[in-house]
Amino acid sequence: MSKDKNPRRVADNEAMAKLRMLRTSPQKLNLVAGLIRGKKVEQALTDLTFSKKRISDDVKKCLQSAIANAENNHNLDVDELVVAEAYVGKNLTMKRGRPRARGRFGKIIKPFAEITIKVRQVEEQS
């Protein structure tokens, strides 16, 4: 006797990828995620390729992973994929410090973030 199969967390025409522990603040990562929301995957990949933001390379890897998941695991057509959702969350925060004048302590906070990208297959209107 085996366990029941886990239900899918996304719909039948969707695939997702999640990237954790990105060394940037969620606020900065959300600016890059806003670039690709609702776009076709080819357009989103080119936007991320030519973006000047440092974190856009990591977001591009996550998008390529979501596309590969859609193609290999869920048998979706790559040409009809659209970035349905791209949302950002907080992760851990490293706390560091630096000695300051008169015996004080300057707090340095180094935030981490995570991004989840969902791609959805939509039929093209002819």
pTM above 0.85, yes or no: yes
Secondary structure letter of residue 60 according to DSSP: H
Contacts of 31 (CB under 8 A, 6+ apart): 53
The enclosing domain of 76 has a CATH number of 3.90.470.10
Specify the amino acid at residue 103: G
pLDDT tens, position by position, 18-45: 999 999 999 999 999 999 999 999 999 9
Residue 124 within a domain? no
Q: Is the pLDDT of residue 62 over 70?
A: yes
Residue 125 within a domain? no
Residue 72 within a domain? yes
Residue 126 within a domain? no
Overall domain count for the chain: 1
pLDDT tens, position by position, 106-120: 999 999 999 999 999
Which domain covers residue 110, as residue numbers?
12-119
pLDDT tens, position by position, 70-106: 999 999 999 999 999 999 999 999 999 999 999 999 9
- Site of tokens 């040409």: 79
Whole-Å CA distances, 35 to 50, 69, 100, 115, 123: 11, 21, 39, 13, 22
Residue 1 within a domain? no
Residue 25 within a domain? yes
Residue 106 within a domain? yes
